[in-house]
Amino acid sequence: MDSNSTWTAKQNKLFEDALVVLGGGISPELWWRVARAVGGKTAEEAKRHYEMLVEDVEQIESGHVPLPRYKPAGEKAFDFIDEQERLKHMKLE
């Protein structure tokens, strides 16, 4: 697989879990171990995926990427365009 390969949600979760468990120092062995934990990825792919994750975090922390609007706990997960749309939906319930 090449470094531009896609990662499934399951692979991303395995990647994150492997970083937590195996972390504690960046080394060539770390990427081999992370790739092995994920399955179907090379050490180079794991390293590049980490580098992309770091870039994403830096963009978020610098304010270049807006954070998503999360709903308060217990509120339905609807994201209405405006108040009229919200009221229309409420009448349908």
Residue 38 to residue 6: CA distance in whole angstroms: 13
Assigned fold of 1-93: Arc Repressor Mutant, subunit A (1.10.10)
Asked if 47 and 31 touch (Cβ cutoff 8 Å), the reply is yes
Q: What is the mean pLDDT of residues 9-13?
A: 94
Q: Report, as an integer, the average pLDDT of 4-13.
A: 88
Query: 44 with 31: CB under 8 angstroms?
Result: yes
**Is 51 within 8 Å of 38 (Cβ atoms)?**
no
Q: What is the pLDDT of residue 82?
A: 59
Q: What does the pLDDT read at residue 2?
A: 46
**Binning pLDDT at 50, 70 and 90, where does residue 3 land?**
very low
| Token pair listed for 20 | 């937590």
Q: Where are the domains of the chain?
A: 1-93
pTM of this structure: 0.64
pLDDT score for 31: 93
Structure confidence by residue, pLDDT tens digits, 13-69: 999 999 999 877 788 899 999 999 999 999 999 999 999 999 988 988 888 877 777
**69: CB partners within 8 A, 6+ apart:** 79
